[in-house]
């Protein structure tokens, strides 16, 4: 029996037992509708608002500024389309970056088809956005800036506070996709000066299918869903009380243990990166300093990412190459291309994202298995020059 190692926490995290326990009552006795006027419904309303308050506290917001969504994708869609609709009479220019999640990028592309103009800022080879470039891209008709807090593929943490200060000074709405950040690193909407911020519970050990959008007081996006008037009339539909409770419990737990857990994960992650980068023609992707605690990402030249994943799976290792959403396609990741990797190199990417249940023994197993698979695939590969120990494209 081979060992099982889940190393894909950036794709989703296992549900925390605390979050599961917090949800349980709502699947049996506590099933009231928060909109019902009798006491049983009002208990559900109270629970919902308590969950909202917990979430708000964890990101430095007021409870009234947190709206429930079905997750990160919905939050990103709402933020971009809503801001575009809200501000379209002022201008039609949007600034974002080349390394955003597809939830932002594909929404931006949709808006381009609606007549908006989008600037996709480049990043440096570590995946960092330069605040000065953001500043230089702002025009009189710029209505929105959207930059992710931390990248889901390479783990690079962006200078969000500096960009927020620039956006504020220019009077441009600022959205942050903080799906990878919330629950993993300190997030403070006031410090970041953001108007909108997206997060998702299943990335911090909460349930899948629930997330939130922070909407700064004074910024009121158009309704996303019309109906019975829930969520201040902005997102109608009977609320997911169980999900809200699970999400709040998960975030409270994650924030409570954040400092210690980040320290633990950074040590494991660095051990992994140091060990794997000793392989020939192998490079760490992303910023070694400003990096999500659990995210290790590399490229192995002369190796196909898909083959790597399948062989690792056979050895009980669940990992990812590029983002989960694009792993069904054969195009190399837009993030790896944006940091300047050639196509053939970007194809050999691996993301190992560690989390709460990852142990030192797991990392040792990864350090043993990944090089074995990489060497095996290279031996088989027509593009690997075994004698020279490098890919043929160096000749």
Ligand X SMILES: *Cc1c(COP(=O)(O)O)cnc(C)c1O
Report the residue closest to ligand X, judged by CB. 72
177 binds ligand X (CB under 6 A): yes
Tell me phi and psi for residue 27, to 5 degrees: -90, 0
Binding status of residue 153 toward ligand X by CB under 6 A: no
Closest approach of ligand X to the CB of residue 114, in Å: 21
Contact window for ligand X (CB under 6 A) among 159-167, 173-181, 281-289, 303-311: 173-181
Rounded to the nearest 10 degrees, the angle between the axes of helix 241-256 and helix 258-276 is 70
Binders of ligand X among residues 72 to 101 (CB under 6 A) are 72-73, 76, 101
CA-wise closest residue to 227 among 218, 238, 236, 214: 236
State how far the Cα of 139 lies from the Cα of 131, in Å rounded to an integer. 15
Q: Does 148 bind ligand X (CB under 6 A)?
A: yes
Q: Given the rule CB under 6 A, which of 71-79, 269-277, 328-336, 368-376 is the region that contacts ligand X?
A: 71-79
Distance CA 203, CA 316 (A): 22
**Is there binding between residue 71 and ligand X (CB under 6 A)?**
yes
* Tokens (6 digits) for 341: 């990797």
Sheet hosting strand 282-284, strand order edge to edge: 282-284, 295-300, 349-353
Q: Does the footprint of ligand X cover residue 351 (CB under 6 A)? A: no
Separation in Å, CA 186 to CA 22, 30, 100, 150, 262: 24, 33, 20, 12, 11
> Catalytic residues, which ones?
325
Strands of 224-330, DSSP E: 282-284, 295-300, 317-318
Q: Which is nearer to ligand X, 176 or 303 (CB)?
A: 176
199 versus 365: smaller Cβ distance to ligand X: 199
Report the run of H or E that residue 312 belongs to, with start and end.
Answer: helix 305-314
Number of residues near ligand X (by CB under 6 A): 15
**What mask, x for binding ligand X by CB under 6 A, covers residues 192 to 231?**
--------x-xx-------x--------------------
Nearer to ligand X, 181 or 241 (CB): 181
What is the DSSP-derived secondary structure letter of residue 34?
Answer: T
Min dist CB 369 to ligand X, Å, is 25
Residues lying near ligand X in the complex (CB under 6 A) = 71-73, 76, 101, 103, 148, 152, 177, 179-180, 200, 202-203, 211
């Amino acid at each position: 029996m081979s060992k099982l190692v889940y190393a894909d926490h950036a794709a989703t995290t296992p549900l925390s037992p605390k979050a599961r326990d917090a949800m349980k009552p709502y699947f049996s006795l506590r099933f009231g509708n928060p909109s019902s006027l009798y006491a049983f419904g009002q208990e559900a309303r109270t629970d919902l608002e308590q969950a909202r308050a917990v979430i708000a506290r964890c990101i430095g917001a007021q409870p009234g500024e947190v709206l429930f969504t079905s997750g990160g994708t919905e939050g990103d869609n709402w933020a971009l389309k809503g801001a575009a609709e809200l501000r379209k009479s002022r201008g039609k220019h949007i600034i974002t970056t080349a390394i955003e999640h597809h939830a932002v990028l594909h929404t931006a592309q949709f808006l381009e088809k609606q007549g908006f103009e989008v600037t996709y800022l480049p990043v440096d080879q570590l995946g960092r956005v330069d605040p000065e470039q953001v500043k230089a891209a702002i025009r009189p008709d710029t209505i929105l800036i959207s930059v992710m807090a931390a990248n889901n593929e390479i783990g690079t943490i962006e200078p969000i506070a500096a960009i927020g200060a620039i956006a504020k000074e220019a009077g441009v709405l600022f959205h942050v996709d903080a799906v990878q950040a919330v629950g993993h690193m300190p997030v403070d909407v006031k410090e970041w000066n953001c108007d909108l911020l997206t997060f998702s519970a299943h990335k911090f050990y909460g349930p899948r299918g629930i997330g939130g959008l922070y909407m700064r007081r004074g910024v009121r996006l158009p309704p996303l869903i019309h109906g019975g008037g829930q969520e201040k009339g902005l997102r109608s539909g009977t609320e997911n009380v169980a999900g809200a409770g699970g999400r709040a419990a998960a975030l409270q737990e994650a924030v409570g243990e954040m400092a210690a857990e980040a320290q633990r994960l950074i040590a494991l992650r660095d051990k992994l990166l140091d060990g794997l980068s000793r392989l020939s023609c192998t490079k760490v992707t992303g910023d070694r300093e400003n990096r999500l605690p659990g995210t290790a990402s590399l490229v192995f030249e002369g190796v196909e990412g898909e083959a790597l994943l399948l062989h690792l799976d056979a050895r009980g290792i669940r990992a990812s190459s590029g983002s989960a959403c694009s792993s069904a396609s054969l195009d190399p990741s837009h993030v790896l291309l944006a940091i300047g990797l050639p196509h053939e190199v970007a194809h050999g990417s691996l993301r190992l994202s560690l989390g709460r249940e990852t142990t030192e023994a797991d990392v040792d197993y990864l350090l043993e298995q990944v090089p074995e698979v990489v060497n095996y695939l290279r031996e088989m590969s027509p593009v690997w020059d075994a004698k020279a120990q490098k890919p043929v494209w160096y000749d």
